[in-house]
A and B are shown apart, each in its own frame.
Chain A
Amino acid sequence: MAKIIVYIDDKKLEAESGKTILEVCRENDIEILTMCHLEGITDIGACRLCLVEIEGNNKLLSACTTKIAANMVIKTKTERIKKYQRITTELFFAERNHVCSVCVANGKCELQKLGYKVGLDHIRYPFLFPQCEVDTSHEWYVLDHNRCIMCTRCVRVCAEVEGAHNWDVMNRGNQVRIISDFNTPWGESTTCTSCGKCLHACPTGAIWPKDIVQGQLNKNPGMITELIEKRKLGL
């Protein structure tokens, strides 16, 4: 791959063409906040946390889906971007029922970490408090829609890495929900292999094993990335 020059936050960088802005930033220790991104699976640009400003383009583009181009001038930390990251985080928290103190993921949650990162001390929007189901029908795992942020990492991991495609999305707008098969209880799924990859891919406490209590969840999304890398190498 040919090397090209890009400018990120006033730093001149040499990078391989064909890479995304996010990849180049991570290689060069430039922090980009993400939520729907998981190394190794298809990027969808849905969470809008990784938005960056590109000189000459009046639109904000998601770093995870936009490829670099020669002499591209990229800004990742403007006031506007920081403000929008905060609003997005607030909307995540206000959308469903995120109560850290009783959550299995407390202390290990990516959403919680994001809150600290953007300096979230309070949420300015009214909490929507939707009535969400908790699906405990699976023998080992639980899906709690109250804590789901619709990043769809579970959907993509299940389809792309495990190849089972148990998960999908139904409805639209703020009524969207993750579904197992054709919206049947997870325990009755005919496609789920109970591999547990979705559990590790989930950034919050929405999917967790039954045998744990508050704050005890141990997730390892890096395991999925590692698996994908190993498969590429034929190991």
Chain B
Amino acid sequence: MNRQELKTTIEAEKNKLDLQKTKHRICVCCGAGCISSGSEALLKKLQEEVETRGLEKDVEIIPTGCMGPCNQGPLVKFQPENTIYQKVDCNNIQPVVQAQVVENKPIENMLLFSDSRSKPFVNAKDDPFYKKQLKIALQDCGDINPEKIKDYLSHDGYQALDKVLFEMSPEDVIGEIKHSRIRGRGGAGYPTGLKWETVYKYVSPEKYMICNGDEGDPGAFMDRSVLEGNPHRVLEGMIIAAYAVGANKGYAYIRGEYPLAIKRFELAIKQAKKMGLLGSHILGTEFSFDVEVRIGAGAFVCGEETALIASVEGKRGTPKPRPPFPAESGLWGKPTLINNVETLAGIAPIINKGGEWYSEIGTPKSAGTKVFALAGKINYAGLIEVPMGTTLREIIFEIGGGMPGGEDFKAAQTGGPSGGCIPAEYLDVKMDYESLISLGSIMGSGGLIIMDKSSDMVDVAKYFMEFSMDESCGKCVPCRVGTKMMFDLLQKICNNKGTRIDLNRLEELAVYVKEASLCGLGASAPNPLLSTLRHFKQEYENRIEKEI
């Protein structure tokens, strides 16, 4: 396919979508959460229902990616009204079709959040859950069929790629990304534009572009949802990144626990290749780029870039000291760009709407939006995307609908095993990279676990320490032995057998492991411990008091 053909296809798909506006589009959420609560059977039942009623001409049914409020699933969305029904199953789908399609009158007590809001919203966009959100990375998730490239094309898909290949030089692309001030969404928050520029500047006949989809934090499913809900967006980001830095070969490293994400991404690669959007001479230009999927084998540490590279090379997934950074010597010793899934999902909109537009969203130091996986003691758990700088209070009490049973908020855990806990006095903290670091936590990849007073903070620290201890690769001494020692000490304190000496040793070890470890896993493993020591020291003191 060449440029003109792509334009024609996009136009045709958009027209088709316009024509369909008169029809009902029923979107059935087929994200991993809704699938596990039965949305695939529901999809089948819905198709049967529509056929029995002879409504095929007026109704289009599409399986989509994640819509957000995962604990209310399975979710079914009716377009163009944008009405979402919650907890729909094979038994209650009939009245919904009858009411929504035939009578055009929604069933109020089945609408999204109908069991917790006195007046649920017919147009879900008016609901506070969605109102405070701004979806960029998740933009089309829940609206398009992730398994059809034409659905993506009808939502401006691959237009950014077209613009980049025909109207921009690699320098222009890097300039635009730098201007957007987007930072790496994998956790560390390194400026993406700067990373691209560094790889671009290294001269080498071979360069590589890797997409890091080895999302491993407990309770986090942001990358999973993006890959499952809109794989083409990530692929487009990869192709643009490769064009900018001069890479001709890419790998998408997706963890083995995400079979659906792997399947959909592989399908996306196949479809893009067939349409000439991937492979040799993309859209008839001189630029060639190919992507392969690499499947992780269950190691958390492989999310660390040097360990991931070793794993792609077929070696044991252990990290290497940096420098040299992958930008200089990465995959097979060649300059390599590694970006997180969510970062790549943000690239196409930046190209389409401009870096200026993106940089105006969020806070001065953290531009754009961030996807969070909201979990724990919260009414509306699920996937949300908010502008950087949104306060924790807004996320919990406005978007998340507050705590179940009106319990008091105790702490929010961000950044998974590499992050920390934010206590109630900091509920008004702006969620951005710097603010979270100043509280002893990190943004991390976006896990956000809400806790009430039933959570014991020493136990929380112990849980995450156990995770890091199990996931340590065992290469360097501080992480391999230090995490084990810290876990044993925490266990002792949890069993009310700890002493003041133990507490002092724990603090000393935590700082040592943080500073002496080889890679980010060890360097961040003490964070949950250090942050609970900082904000909830009394709970540790209470556990050791009796001993002295």
Contact = CB atoms under 8 A, between A and B. Distances in A.
Interface of A: 44-48, 51, 59-62, 65-67, 80, 83-84, 87-88, 91-92, 94-95, 124-126, 128, 150, 168-169, 171-176
Contact of B477 (A83, A91, A173): A91
17 contacts: A45-B321, A46-B477, A48-B478, A59-B515, A65-B320, A66-B323, A84-B512, A88-B516, A94-B485, A128-B481, A168-B316, A172-B473, A172-B474, A173-B471, A173-B472, A173-B483, A174-B474
A84 B516 contact: yes
Interface of B: 299, 301, 316, 320-321, 323, 469-478, 480-485, 488, 505, 508-509, 512, 515-518
Which of B323, B475, B509 is the most central at the interface, judged by chain A CB atoms within 10 Å of its CB? B475
Contacts of B472: 172-174
A174 B518 contact: no
A172 B515 contact: no
B485 A125 contact: yes
Contacts of B518: 45-46, 48, 62
Given A88-B478, A173-B471, A173-B474, A51 B316 contact: no
Nearest to B468: A173
Contact of B474 (A44, A45, A62, A150): A150
A87 B321 contact: no
Contacts, number: 96
A176 B470 CA distance: 11
Contact of A94 (B316, B473, B481): B481
B476 A173 contact: no
A168 B316 CA distance: 9
A176 B323 contact: no
Nearest to A67: B323
A91 B475 contact: no
A174 B323 contact: no
A66 B508 CA distance: 26
A175 to B, nearest CB: 7
A60 B476 CA distance: 14
B474 A176 contact: yes
A62 B321 contact: yes
Contacts of B321: 44-45, 61-62, 65-66
Nearest to A93: B481
A174 B476 contact: no
Given A48-B516, A84-B515, A125-B505, A173 B480 contact: yes
Contacts of A87: 478, 508-509, 512, 516
Among B299, B320, B476, the one with the most A-chain Cβ atoms within 10 Å of its Cβ is B476
Contacts of A62: 321, 518
A48 B316 contact: no
